[in-house]
Amino acid sequence: MKAKSEILRIFLTRLAAGAVFVAVCFSRSYWEDASEVVSLLLFLLGIVLAAVASLGRMWCSLYIAGYKDRQLITDGPYSMCRNPLYFFSLIGVAGVGFATETITFPVVLVLLFLIYYPFVIKGEETRLREIFGELHEAYCRETPRLIPRSLVIREPSTYEVNPRVFRRHIFSALWFIWIIGILELIEGLREIGVLQSWWVIP
């Protein structure tokens, strides 16, 4: 049975995304006027992190698609940490934040992620422990929860993938790239006067 934190995860994520969206629509970056170089570097960092996050989530989906709760996955990205999907999501959240060309948004978004998602992870791990028992306990002892301690990856020579499930996962993995596209659209609307800036955010 899913924990309440798992059930609320999508709703709360969308709620936070909506609040950030409104804030972005009616604000502009302090760095746009203060330093074009800093503004550009922040945006480029955001793109790089979003790309890494999208590729990482697709890599995770390759292993988990069609196997969730049916088999304990411990290979590929899951040999680096127990929650690589959330690890790459954290990178993507930071990327989206930096793509706003501010320092405030990535700090706030990462903090919100780190405050809430440990509860989601704990709930999921409780459920997996009930399903897989000692096998999951051993996996927890050997593998870090969220942040990889090593880049050593354990991969099988072949792996069977469910293409239909994996295809659905690909679209969700690209959300960070799409969000940055939306941010650029908002900036364009602001430049032509459709949207007004009420706040300046560093």
Q: Which of 51-55, 77-81, 131-135, 183-187 has the lowest mean pLDDT?
A: 183-187
- HSE-up (13 A, CA, CB side) for residue 31: 17
How far CA 14 is from CA of 18, 32, 51, 93, 135, in Å, comes to 6, 27, 21, 13, 34
Give the model's confidence band at 57: pLDDT under 50 very low, under 70 low, under 90 confident, else very high. very high
CA distance 152 to 199: 45
Torsion of the alpha carbons at 19, 21, 26 and 27, rounded to the nearest 10: 90
Helix (H, G, I), strand (E, B) or coil at 89: helix
Residue, of 33 and 69, whose pLDDT is higher: 33
pLDDT at site 11: 78
pLDDT at site 65: 84
- For the stretch 38-53, pLDDT in tens is 999 999 999 999 999 9
- For the stretch 126-164, pLDDT in tens is 989 999 999 999 999 999 999 998 878 999 888 888 888
CA distance 61 to 154: 16
Determine the average pLDDT of the residues in 7-34: 81
Most confident of 22-26, 64-68, 140-144: 140-144
Indicate whether 7 pLDDT > 90. no
Give the model's confidence band at 174: pLDDT under 50 very low, under 70 low, under 90 confident, else very high. confident
- Helix, strand, coil share of the chain (percent; to 5): 70, 5, 25
Tell me the pTM. Answer: 0.90
Sign of the torsion formed by the C-alpha atoms of 123, 127, 132 and 134: positive
Q: Contact 113/90 with Cβ under 8 angstroms?
A: yes
pLDDT at site 137: 94
> Would you list the DSSP string of 16-30?
HHHHHHHHHHTEEET
Query: Domain extents for the chain?
Result: 47-192
Percent of the chain with pLDDT over 90: 48
